[in-house]
Amino acid sequence: MYEFVTGPLAIFAFVVFFVGVIWRAIWYIRGLNWQMDRVAYGQNVVYGLKGAIRSIVRWLIPFGTHGWRFYPGFTILVFTFHVCLLVTPVFLLGHNLLLEERWGFRLPSLPEAVADVMTLAVMVAAVFILLRRIALPEVRILTKTYDIVLILIAVAPFLTGFIAYHQLGDYKFWLIAHILCGEIMLVAIPLTKLSHFILFFLSRAQLGMDFGTKRGGMKSSGLPW
């Protein structure tokens, strides 16, 4: 079973992930209309690109925008959750040992104590994000079972990995469960709302381009909007 989930099934999950993410990006870009969506493909491109880059960078910095500063507690939760969610699996020692075993190369690895703290941070942040969805009426009304399931899909690899690493139960069972949960998350990313993994950057670039051209004061006969 271990050979299967770390071999053919892992390859399938990564293929779906990479092909799916590329497809979502192409689908998003092709769906934009330069007039309706205010994307300056041919006019004032430099101003548009500056606006796109500025928008992405500011939203990637904690408290870098008015929106982040308006909800400081939520901002800390979101950044803690996403930073640890992305960094931990990429630089985890166990993952890199597997990468070296299967593909012959590895990335720098986090100290195991740091990886432990970041794993716990993901799970704690997820709990508070779920509580926020339940406690705040304006968020609860928009929350569906689908949204909760997606959060659980994102957290499951961390919970099962933590249990397996600390051998809190049957190690082999939890190791396989951890790998399966990770592969489910990889497949889910391009097929669900987890696609904001890539769509965040594209949508921020689109809005930033709008601000960098039209709302930045740039006008020409080629920009009817």
List the helix and strand counts (H, then E) for the chain. 11, 0
Asked if 140 and 133 count as a contact pair (C-beta separation under 8 A), the reply is: yes
Cβ-contact 123, 159 below 8 angstroms: yes
Q: Are 220 and 44 in contact (CB under 8 A)?
A: yes
Distances (CA, A) of 4 to 40, 59, 106, 209: 48, 40, 21, 46
- Element (DSSP H or E) covering residue 48: helix 45-59
Q: What is the predicted pLDDT for the residue at 186?
A: 94
Per-residue pLDDT, 138: 87
Report mean pLDDT in 10-residue bins for the chain, 225 residues: 79 93 89 65 70 86 84 90 92 83 81 93 94 89 91 95 89 92 94 91 84 62 51
Q: What architecture does CATH give domain 2-212? A: Up-down Bundle (1.20)
Q: For residues 105 and 71, what is the distance between their CA atoms, to the nearest angstrom?
A: 41
Structure tokens at 101: 């075993």
In this prediction, residue 215 carries a pLDDT of 60
Q: Are 166 and 209 in contact (CB under 8 A)?
A: no
Q: How long, in residues, is the chain?
A: 225
Alpha helices in 60-170 (DSSP H): 66-70, 72-91, 93-103, 112-135, 137-140, 145-165
Burial class for 4, CB neighbours closer than 10 Å (0-12, 13-18, 19+): exposed
Q: Is 218 left (phi over 0), alpha (psi -120 to 50) or beta?
A: beta
What is the residue extent of each domain of the chain? Answer: 2-212
Query: How confident is the model at residue 5, as a pLDDT?
Result: 81
How far, CA to CA in Å, does 198 sit from each of 25, 158, 203? 7, 21, 9
Question: What is the pTM for the complete model shown?
Answer: 0.84
